[in-house]
Amino acid sequence: MEPTQKVKQFLGEKMLKVLQAPDSVQAIQIEPRTGVSLENIDGFKILNRGPMLSGDQILWLKSLIMDEKSYDFVNVKRHPMDPVIAYQFKKGTDTVHVLVSFAGNLWQFSGFDQKSIEDNDPVRASLVALAKELFPKDKEIQALGDKP
Amino acid sequence: MKRIIVAALFALGLSSSLSAQTLHFLIVADTADQSIGSSVIADLENMQNKAREIAQNTGMRLNLKVLKSPEFNYNSTLAAVQAVNPASNDTVFFYYSGHGYRTRETKTQWPNLYVKTPQPGLEFSKVMQILESKNPRLIIALGDLCNSFSDQSSRSTNSRAFAEIQPQNYKKLFLQYAGRVYASGSKPGQYSFAMDDGGAFTNQFLQALANEVRADDPSWKRLMAVATKSIYIGSADQKTQDPIFELREGATTVANVTQNPTNPPSVQEQQEIQEVVQDDTEEQEEYQEEELCGDLNKLVTAMKELDTALKPNMRMQRGDKLYQALENFNTAMKGVAEGYGDRKLTREVRRLDSSLMQTNLGSYKQSLKNLIDYFSGVGKQQGCRF
């Protein structure tokens, strides 16, 4: 799917390049609020390096990221970013992280010294479904519902 | 004669007691946040201006403290709240703008101020408790933050904007009232939203305050009822943002919209709030019909006269008579913009101000013309003939 100008502008050319054609994507569980830790992603402590995403799962996630309808560019919530999963996109030596906060329905895209946060309410159900598929034994993720 | 002396002594005593009072205004703002920082900065600017305006109109000494990023964190916030040291007759105004949330364990209707560590942040109710323990005459604690679980605003234009601010109204609200005014931007389980020009709730509160200081008989009850009216958001998952408030006099809760699932407001309370909101709307409609067109006509005419009087070849320097006159005009326009609550108007008034700061008369005249067009448009929309 070719992203709209709005999505291109939001993600930026460099991040877009990695997100559109990654060599691999890994799902990583992170701790929302533990502060600084040696092994972290954007300051969030790594709890568990989860599975690599299959081709279909990468396509699914990419289709969500590239679709303007997945974002709410109009409204900005005053809810903190509390991510529990980070998707690590790798392409060659470049890395982009997509952090998903089910609390508040937010996602954060970071890479190349850039960080962008947006609301993702329209695709919460899809993101929850993907997380449940990737972490079938995690009770907290399996308990996620339609609403935060 | 005795009566006059008694009255004079009373007035003297009252005025000396009034002049001795202090407005302790503590603003805590998460200005560096990636997603809402710019909105919080707008809140900070708006609330600082409001603090000065309240002090100016009440004669209270202003003790303004601002805690913002990067100093803002759990410890500094707690320390700043604890450091507030009011006398028994003082007013304390605490204001927080930033992220917020609640957990399933949160016992009160109030959210937590978001700080990364320690969990679960700083409870808004704890801030209230600390301030209560200091027992000043009046406490106002407002938080513009989410109240959602962590585990554009449609702003009505305000016709009263053209009425003049009454300093005695500020005095009645901030100097003579004793009680507790607590509010946060959304009910439990809800998000609060950030707009370009500040938080949706903060803007609505400021607009309600701007209304109230122009009203005939100002009251906190009506002010808070209007400030906590449901705000239309239109997000897919949350159509409205519903602020909550509690107004107490002594041990008695005189008005509230708690929205607490375990303690819903009584039918009588809901009716009371509905009544005051209705009153406010009726007053605005009345004003609109009777006086709005006349005031708009006067305003547009005065602006046109000013535009004609300003010649492109005129010289202006900071502080000279022309500069001062335009500065006064700008101040008046800022008051109108604040009360009217429309972003386009606010933007144009900022341009006007910026042109004056740069002593650029050409640019000033252009902004003035834009404002004339703006108010003429408002008049047409309202069906005014001028």
- Rounded distance between C-alpha atoms, residue A113 and residue A11, angstroms: 12
Whether the CB-CB separation of B184 and B124 falls below 8 Å is answered with yes
Q: How many CA atoms lie within 13 A of A13 on its CB side?
A: 0
Contact B77, B28 (CB under 8 A): yes
Sign of CA dihedral B294, B296, B302, B304: negative
Token reading at B167: 């300093």
d(CA B206, CA B191) in angstroms, rounded, equals 20
pTM of the model: 0.69
A77 interfacial to chain B (CB closer than 8 Å): yes
Give the per-residue pLDDT at A26.
97
Confidence at residue B272, expressed as pLDDT on a 0 to 100 scale: 53
Report the distance separating Cα B369 and Cα B379, nearest Å.
Answer: 15
Smallest Cβ–Cβ distance between B117 and the set A33, A78, A122 belongs to A33
Q: What is the pLDDT of residue B199?
A: 93
- Residue B344, classed as helix, strand or coil, is helix
> A79 vs B236: CB contact, 8 Å cut-off?
no
Token pair, residue B19, equals 């002049």
* Mutation target vs A (from B103, B113, B191, B202; most A CBs, 10 A cutoff): B191
Task: Give ipTM to 2 decimals.
Answer: 0.79
Cβ A119 vs Cβ A76: under 8 Å: yes
Given A35, A77, A118, which is nearest B116 (Cβ)?
Answer: A35
Q: What is the pLDDT along chain B (386 residues), one digit of tens a residue?
A: 333 333 333 333 334 343 469 999 999 999 988 889 989 999 999 999 999 999 999 999 999 999 999 999 899 999 999 999 999 999 999 999 999 988 877 889 999 998 766 666 899 999 999 999 999 999 999 999 998 887 622 233 344 455 667 888 999 999 999 999 999 999 998 999 998 888 999 999 998 998 888 888 899 999 999 899 888 887 777 888 999 999 999 888 888 876 543 334 455 545 555 555 555 555 555 555 556 788 788 888 888 888 888 887 788 888 888 888 888 888 888 777 776 667 778 878 888 888 888 888 888 888 899 899 888 888 887 777 76
Residue listed under structure tokens 């799902």 = A27
Supply the pLDDT for residue B15.
40
pLDDT of residue B265: 44
Query: Where does the pLDDT of residue A61 fall: very low under 50, low under 70, confident under 90, or very high at 90 and above?
Result: very high
- Contact residues, chain A, for B152 at CB < 8 Å: 74-75
